[in-house]
Amino acid sequence: MLRSKLEAAAEMNGRSLTQEVEFRLERSLEQDELLVALVGQASHAQNLVRAVSTVIRRVEGVTGRRFTDHWETLFYCRRAVSKVCNFVFGSDYNDQEFFAMSAADEDERRRYAEEADRYAYDALRDLGLGLPPAPGGREADMSRRLPLDPFGEEISATLDNLPQS
């Protein structure tokens, strides 16, 4: 079955079977190198990135829309990615339990929360992430400003600013 799929792909792409196998192997190695460049050698982080990107690809494949352009696709992606994260990080472990075990007082709780928020906001800003508006057209276009971060720096941009692969 695998051989017949490769033969069909080779014919469609105008390559010999050997060239098709070589092309796919090279592409696979390039993807592995990209993943290492993104998250390093940590296999647990690589697996999480793979799972999240697989969920997004599947949802966008089914809806035919990007989550950055379509509220319903965003809903499905957000819910599915949340399920992946709950599985990986544990849904039975919440902030209050963490604070009870590790934060001595309210200032330390706030510091932990602000630091976690900073990681998220910095990543969003670095990637230029923006999301579609909620149903009902509360905003004129399909991008929205992200909220102010805990330190008062405004974050704004859309995925359209990222290079497309």
| Confidence label for 134 from pLDDT (cuts 50, 70 and 90) | low
Residue 146 is predicted with a pLDDT of 45
Residue 57 is predicted with a pLDDT of 92
pLDDT in tens, 17-65: 888 888 877 877 776 676 666 667 767 788 888 889 899 999 999 999 9
Residue 152 is predicted with a pLDDT of 45
How many CB atoms lie under 10 A from the CB of residue 149? 17
Residue 99 is predicted with a pLDDT of 80
| Confidence label for 69 from pLDDT (cuts 50, 70 and 90) | confident
Question: CA 114, 117, 119, 124 torsion: positive or negative?
Answer: negative
For the chain, counts of helices (H) and of strands (E):
6, 0
Residue ranges per domain, the chain? 42-91, 94-165
